[in-house]
Amino acid sequence: MDIYLPIAEVAVNAPLIVALGALVGFISGMFGIGGGFLMTPMLVFLGIPAPVAVSSMANHVAASSMSSVIAYSRRKAVDLRMGAVLAAGGVAGAFLGVELFRWLRLLGQADLVVALSYLLFLTVIGGLMLIESLGTILRRRRGEAPPPRRDRRPVWLYGLPFKMRFPRSRLYISVIPPVLLGAFVGVLSAIMGVGGGFILVPAMIYVLRMPAGMVVGTSLLQIIITAGLTGVLQAGRNQTVDIVLATLLLLGGIVGAQFGARASSRFRAEELRAILALIVLMVGLRMGLGLFLTPDEPFVLLSGANG
Amino acid sequence: MIAALAAALATAAGPPSPPLPPSPAASSTPVISAALTDTNVQVKSDFRGARIVLYGAVFDAAARPSDVVILVRGPEQPVRLTRKQKVAGLWLNSRPVVFRGAPGFYRAASNRPLEDIANFGVLRRLGAGVDHLAINAPEEQRTETRYGVKDVVVSRLGSDYYVWRRAVVRLKEKAGLYHEDDEGVRFVDRGLFRAEIALPTGAPTGVYRADILLFQNGVAVSRRTLTLTVEKVGLERALYVWAHERPWSYGLAAMAFAMLAGWAASAAFRRD
């Protein structure tokens, strides 16, 4: 059953898109991530123009994060104040990112920057996660105790001005690092069509030193605000949000996420992280591969001839 | 017999019947006549491309050898093209080049190879065949005086220009948007011909122009022009128009809808 997407102006197989949404939703529910980094490349691979895939993903990410954040907030696992500070940075980042993406499209370098960002961020994060999770698994097999967590807090985090209290996360830190982190993730979400959870979550744990229980819920809150704004900006500035595509993905994604969340309780956290790390690494390498292989067709048509 | 053929054609083409050409007996000049089975293609949610049949007839009392060339052009769409170049081991995009004058859809059909029907100059003037499309990159051009000749057009792409131009055609052909078929026009009976125009899913919306040309002895002796409209209808059109004319309200509504759907899902799957 094919369905014509009014903005992307291509016909896609509707059950296939719903199934893709369900698969990515399952992974996202299982690992507590948005899954945009998986979905956007797959949509492009299915023949949906990259700008439309990236922009429509913002709507999808906002919707799927919305469905999870409510569950986290019920468990009081959301630091609203930290979320607001991150989102303030995210808003600035989204504005910057949408304009940057527009400018890159005009220069014809959008594909390159997207591929490079994927290669760089996904391989680095995937690699780090894989090393960390394999280390944990090995230690557990050998029956060793986990290394004591270094509680020495980095000086730069505490030496900066504009300190603020975050009672829920039990932190008293400068707002500059979270604002910058939020802005960085906002730019990435506009360029890569991702929510940015895969960067936000580790950064909140290892850089901001937030308690692990608060991290996922708070990052989801920041992602909703940033992705929500990105989606509106992409529609307003670039006219690239396809609501039919986003809805199809949602249909599968929402159901998949619920099953994923249930399945995740059957695995240990470090095993889940190791699997996720492998997926992240593979997507990053696949996206970056195009930069190194000799293309069959050296010429590429770019969309948006009128800018 | 030709009159009977004309009558048969009028019924085959269906209403509204094309104005009948002047009676063949009255004039000695050959005349071509044609009609489309469908002049309005509607793009709906189940749109998977369309096939339109073009019927026509050649009226020539002298029965001279005739060739028929059909050129279908979609609305003009500028093309932005980039070339991948190896820089420090990485394949990077070059600066994009904008080509103007490229139709969004192009189909040339004839009963035999175009180069056998007319010479290079004739085909070039008519824009008949993908090699003769008037595509150029004005931003890459400048005029200068060379060898004492004023206003010589020089392209910054230099001799690569033709490689770029061919790439435009090749990529459009790959997308099913450009096509040249030298067996696309079939004579089904004396003077009566038929051709098919296949519109892919990615065919741009807008007004298409079909030129049906009658060639005799390498000269276009008669021409008939038909138009064809491809338009989005129903929900597809409403969404498209909304997204392009009021992008901000569309964006806000799409996002509100997405968030509402997310909230509804969490409520539906609530486990406690």
Q: What angle do CA A21, A24, A29 make, to 5 degrees?
A: 115
The single-letter DSSP state of residue B100 is: B
Amino acid B153: pLDDT: 61
Spatial neighbors of B166 by CB under 8 A, at least 6 apart, are none
Helical H runs in A32-108? 36-45, 50-74, 80-107
Q: What are phi and psi of A165, to 5 degrees?
A: -95, 135
Cα separation, B271 vs A264, in Å, equals 15
Nearest Cα to Cα of residue A29 among A68, A76, A72: A68
Shortest Cα distance, chain A CAs vs residue B113, angstroms:
27
Neighbouring C-beta atoms of residue A181, cutoff 10 Å = 23
Amino acid B225: pLDDT: 92
Cα separation, B59 vs B63, in Å, equals 8
Please determine, for residue B142, whether its predicted confidence score (pLDDT) is greater than 60.
Answer: yes
Please determine, for residue B71, whether its predicted confidence score (pLDDT) is greater than 90.
Answer: yes
Please determine, for residue B8, whether its predicted confidence score (pLDDT) is greater than 80.
Answer: no
At residue A305 the predicted structure's pLDDT band, cuts being 50, 70 and 90, is very low
Beta strands (DSSP E) in chain A are 2-5, 10-13, 163-166, 171-174, 299-302
A290/B71: higher pLDDT: B71
DSSP three-state, residue A63: helix
C-alpha dihedral over A14, A18, A19, A22, to 10 degrees?
Answer: 180
Interface test with B, best of A243, A259, A303 (most B CBs within 10 A): A243
Q: How many helices (H) and strands (E) does chain A have?
A: 12, 5
Share of chain A above pLDDT 70, in %: 93
Per-residue tokens: A71: 């569950």
- Using CB atoms, which residue from A62, A247, A302 is nearest to B255? A62
Per-residue tokens: B170: 């090749």
Cα separation, B104 vs A9, in Å, equals 13
Cβ–Cβ below 8 Å for A2 and B44:
no
Cβ–Cβ below 8 Å for B265 and A292:
no
Cβ–Cβ below 8 Å for A67 and B266:
yes
CB hemisphere CA count around A140 (13 angstroms): 10
On whether the CB atoms of residues B54 and B70 are closer than 8 A, the answer is yes
Amino acid B207: pLDDT: 93
Cα separation, A228 vs B259, in Å, equals 8
Measure Cα distances from A263 to A23, A29, A130, A305, B129 in Å: 13, 9, 21, 46, 59
Please determine, for residue A31, whether its predicted confidence score (pLDDT) is greater than 60.
Answer: yes
Across all residues in chain A, what is the average pLDDT?
81
- Using CB atoms, which residue from B201, B232, B255 is nearest to A232? B255
Interface test with B, best of A66, A69, A224 (most B CBs within 10 A): A66
Q: In this complex, is the C-beta atom of B87 within 8 Å of any C-beta atom belonging to chain A?
A: no
Per-residue tokens: B227: 């138009």
Total number of residues shown for chain A: 307
Please determine, for residue B9, whether its predicted confidence score (pLDDT) is greater than 50.
Answer: no
Global ipTM: 0.79
Cβ–Cβ below 8 Å for A243 and B239:
yes
Q: What angle do CA B56, B62, B63 make, to 5 degrees?
A: 50
Q: In this complex, is the C-beta atom of B272 within 8 Å of any C-beta atom belonging to chain A?
A: yes
